[in-house]
A and B are shown apart, each in its own frame.
Chain A
C-alpha cells in the first residue's frame, strides 16, 4: 500500500502542477480558473449522465492506455494505437455486416475476435519490421497510423457506405453483433447512455494484462527485454520474438476500442470516430506509471476532462474544450521529465544500434 501511494505521488504532483499552469493560462485569457475547473471536473459527478458518460469515455482510454503500457514494458513505444484501433474497428464492422444474419452467440465472439486480431496484426507489422530489420517502431507506427486512417476511409467511401449516405460511415452491423448497454442491467441508468459491456471488458483486460505481464513466462520475458535487452538476449531470451509478441498484444488491446465503439455505441463503423484515443493512451499509460491499476485511474481522469470539456465549451465565456488537450500535453511533459528517465536509461545500450 505504501509503495502504491508513493507511486501515485509523483503523477498526482504532475497533475496538480499541470492544473496550476492551465489555471494561469485561463487567467491570462480573462476567465476565472475556479469556475472553468468546476465546469470541467464537476460535471462528471452527476448521476446518471455524468458518471455514465465518464465511464463510457474511459473505456477506450483504458484499452489504449494498456496498449501503450504493454509496449513500454517491452521497451517499445507504440505510438500507433490510433491506427490499430481504426483498422480493428473497421474489421469489427466488416464482420458484423458480412455475417449480419448470424445469431449473437456466434457473431459477438466473431466480431470481438476481428477487433483483437486486426489490432494485433496492424501492430505486429512494425513489430516484425523492428525485429527483422531494426527499423524504429516509433516511425513505423506513426506512418502506419496514416496508412490505416486512409485505408479505412477508402474502404468506407468506396465499398461499405450506403449509397447516398452523406456521412462517411458503413452500413449498420447485424443485430447479433450488438453488445448490451449497461443501462439494461443497472436501474436508473438510461440506455441512451452508450456505456456498455466493453467497459467491463476493459476492466477485465487490466487484470489479464497484469496476469500476463507479471504471472506468465511470456510476460517475464517481455519485461526482461524491456528492462535490459542485452541481458535478456544473453539469458537466452529471443528479443526479436518478444518485440513481435509485445507489439501484437499491444495492438490487440488497442483494437478492443472497436468493440466499444462499433458493437456497443454506434453499431456501425463511423469514419474518424476516434477522439485521439490512441494518443491519449500515451498520456494514460505515462500518468498511470505503466501499471494496470494506474491506467484505470488515469483513464478516469482523462475521461472526466473529456466529458467536462463539453460543458466548458458551452458555459464558459472564453475557455474552450481545447483546455483538455492543453492540460493533457502539460501533464505528459511534466511526467516525461521524471518518470521516463528510468525506463530510458535502461534502453540506452540497446538503442544505439537501431534505426530511427
Chain B
C-alpha cells in the first residue's frame, strides 16, 4: 500500500478523471433541467469515434497537418450535439421515455462506429493509428477542470442557471414565470451532448491515438454514477470523478492485484467495483442522501 500514492498515479488519476468530469458535467446540465441522461455512454462513443476519424481524415485527405486534431475535437463536439439533438427531439418534443430513448442511443452507438469504420477504414471497428504530434493530450484536461468552475458559475450565478435548475425542480412554476421549459431542456441536453462528445474525444485523441471498438467501456455510466455520487453539483461531481478516476488508475497500474500491507491481494475486479457500489449506497441514502432534481424524467406537459 505504501508505494501506491506515487506522482505517476496522481497524474494518471487526473487523466482518467478528465473524460469522466466532462461527461458528468454534461450530464449535470441535462439532469438538472429534468432530462435523465443514461445516453452519456453513447455520446462519448460518438465523440471518441468522430474525433479519431476526423483527425485522421483531416490530416490525410485534407492535409491540415497540426490543425487536424482541433478539427477532430470540434467534430466530436458536433457529433455529441447531433446525437443529443436526436435524443432531445424524441424526449422533449415527442415526450418519449427518456430511459428508453437513452438506451436506444447507447445501442445505436455500439453499432455506428463499427459500421462506419468497417466501411471507411476496412477495419473491424477501429480507426487508423494517429501520429503522436496529432494528439492533444493536455488541453482537454485543462478544459475539463476549467469547465468545473464555469459550470458552477453558470449554474449558480447566471439567469440561465437559475432557470435550468427551476425547470428541473418545478417546471410548472418556471413556466408560470415565463420560462420556456422545453427550450431550457433542449439547451441542457445539447450542452450534455457537447461535453460528453468532448470527453469521448479525449479518450481517442488525447489518452490514446486511435479509436477502438467500445472504447468508452462503460465510462459514460461511471460519469453518471459520479454525477449521482456528487449530488448533481459541479464541485462534488468533480471530486467523485477524481475518486472514480483513482479507482480506474489504480486498477490499470496494478495489472492484477493490489497488495495490502498484510500481504493479501485485492483482486482488481473489486477495485473496479467501487464506483458502482458507492453509487448504490449513496442513492439508497446509507451515507448522506443524494436527491435528484424533482422533475427528473418527467416530460413537461403544459397545462391547458
Do A and B assemble together?
A: yes
A322 CA to B228 CA in the complex, in Å? 32
> Taking each of A31, A133, A150, A320, which has the highest tally of chain B beta carbons within 10 Å of its own beta carbon?
A320
Instruction: Specify the chain B residue showing the minimal Cβ separation from A153.
Output: B269
Q: Which of B97, B115, B291 contacts A336 (CB 8 A)?
A: B97
Q: Is B160 an interface residue (CB 8 A)?
A: no
Interface string of A314-328 (1 = CB under 8 A from B): 000011111111111
B111/A325 in contact, CB under 8 A: yes
B97/A355 in contact, CB under 8 A: no
Q: Which of A158, A276, A340 contacts B267 (CB 8 A)?
A: A158
Q: Is A204 an interface residue (CB 8 A)?
A: no
Instruction: Specify the chain B residue showing the minimal Cβ separation from A321.
Output: B114
Interface string of A120-152 (1 = CB under 8 A from B): 000000000100110110111011101100110
A337/B107 in contact, CB under 8 A: no
Known: A147-B277, A329-B111. A355 touches B101 (CB 8 A): no
Known: A147-B276, A323-B111, A336-B90. A329 touches B104 (CB 8 A): yes
Within 8 A of A (CB), among B245-304: 267, 269-270, 272-273, 276-277, 279-280, 283-285, 290-292, 294-299
Q: Is B99 an interface residue (CB 8 A)?
A: yes
Q: Is A344 an interface residue (CB 8 A)?
A: yes
Q: Is A184 an interface residue (CB 8 A)?
A: no
A356/B292 in contact, CB under 8 A: yes
Contact residues in B for A153 (Cβ distance below 8 Å): 269
Contact residues in A for B150 (Cβ distance below 8 Å): none
Q: In angstroms, how far is the closest chain A Cβ from the Cβ of B111? A: 3
Q: Is B36 an interface residue (CB 8 A)?
A: yes
Q: Is B243 an interface residue (CB 8 A)?
A: no
B283/A332 in contact, CB under 8 A: no
Contact residues in B for A321 (Cβ distance below 8 Å): 114
Instruction: Specify the chain B residue showing the minimal Cβ separation from A320.
Output: B118
Q: Is B238 an interface residue (CB 8 A)?
A: no
B97/A133 in contact, CB under 8 A: no
Q: In angstroms, how far is the closest chain B Cβ from the Cβ of A165? A: 17
Q: Which of A147, A328, A352 contacts B298 (CB 8 A)?
A: A352
Contact residues in B for A25 (Cβ distance below 8 Å): 115
> Taking each of B104, B218, B225, which has the highest tally of chain A beta carbons within 10 Å of its own beta carbon?
B104
Q: In angstroms, how far is the closest chain A Cβ from the Cβ of B180? A: 20
Where chain B touches its partner, the secondary structure class is: helix
A283 CA to B111 CA in the complex, in Å? 14
A114 CA to B4 CA in the complex, in Å? 40
Within 8 A of A (CB), among B110-125: 110-116, 118-120, 122, 124-125
Q: In angstroms, how far is the closest chain B Cβ from the Cβ of A249? A: 20
Q: In angstroms, how far is the closest chain A Cβ from the Cβ of B73? A: 24
B283/A139 in contact, CB under 8 A: yes
Contact residues in B for A273 (Cβ distance below 8 Å): none
B103/A129 in contact, CB under 8 A: no
Q: Is A109 an interface residue (CB 8 A)?
A: no
Interface string of A190-232 (1 = CB under 8 A from B): 0000000000000000000000000000000000000000000
Interface string of A10-32 (1 = CB under 8 A from B): 00000000000000010001110
A348/B298 in contact, CB under 8 A: yes
Q: Is A100 an interface residue (CB 8 A)?
A: no
Q: Is A47 an interface residue (CB 8 A)?
A: no
Q: Which of A142, A318, A320, A330 contacts B224 (CB 8 A)?
A: A142
A344 CA to B112 CA in the complex, in Å? 28
B272/A150 in contact, CB under 8 A: yes
Q: Which of A132, A133, A142, A344 contacts B38 (CB 8 A)?
A: A142
Q: Is B96 an interface residue (CB 8 A)?
A: yes
A333/B104 in contact, CB under 8 A: yes
Instruction: Specify the chain A residue showing the minimal Cβ separation from B278.
Output: A143
B291/A355 in contact, CB under 8 A: yes
Q: Which of B36, B115, B280 contacts A319 (CB 8 A)?
A: B115
Contact residues in A for B269 (Cβ distance below 8 Å): 150-151, 153-154, 157
Q: Is A279 an interface residue (CB 8 A)?
A: yes
Interface string of B82-117 (1 = CB under 8 A from A): 000010001000111101110111111111111110
A135 CA to B281 CA in the complex, in Å? 10
A343/B298 in contact, CB under 8 A: no
Q: Which of A327, A335, A355 contacts B283 (CB 8 A)?
A: A355
A336/B100 in contact, CB under 8 A: yes
Contact residues in B for A29 (Cβ distance below 8 Å): 115-116, 119-120
Q: Which of B100, B105, B125, B290 contacts A322 (CB 8 A)?
A: B125
Q: Is A246 an interface residue (CB 8 A)?
A: no
Q: In angstroms, how far is the closest chain A Cβ from the Cβ of B150? A: 25
Q: Is B221 an interface residue (CB 8 A)?
A: yes
B115/A355 in contact, CB under 8 A: no
B298/A333 in contact, CB under 8 A: no
A348 CA to B294 CA in the complex, in Å? 12
A–B complex contacts, Cβ < 8 Å, 13 sampled: A138-B99, A142-B224, A143-B221, A143-B225, A283-B107, A320-B118, A320-B119, A329-B106, A333-B86, A341-B97, A351-B297, A356-B36, A356-B296
* A residues apposed to B, CB below 8 Å: 25, 29-31, 77, 79, 129, 132-133, 135-136, 138-140, 142-144, 146-147, 150-151, 153-154, 157-158, 276, 279-280, 282-283, 286, 318-330, 332-333, 335-338, 340-341, 343-344, 348, 351-352, 355-356
* B residues apposed to A, CB below 8 Å: 31, 36, 38, 86, 90, 94-97, 99-101, 103-116, 118-120, 122, 124-125, 218, 221, 224-225, 228, 267, 269-270, 272-273, 276-277, 279-280, 283-285, 290-292, 294-299
14 further interface pairs, Cβ-Cβ under 8 Å (given A139-B228, A332-B107, A336-B90): A79-B38, A139-B224, A139-B279, A279-B107, A318-B118, A318-B122, A321-B114, A322-B112, A322-B125, A329-B110, A332-B100, A333-B108, A336-B100, A344-B299
The 6 closest A-B pairs by CB, nearest first: A329-B108, A325-B111, A29-B119, A322-B114, A320-B118, A332-B104
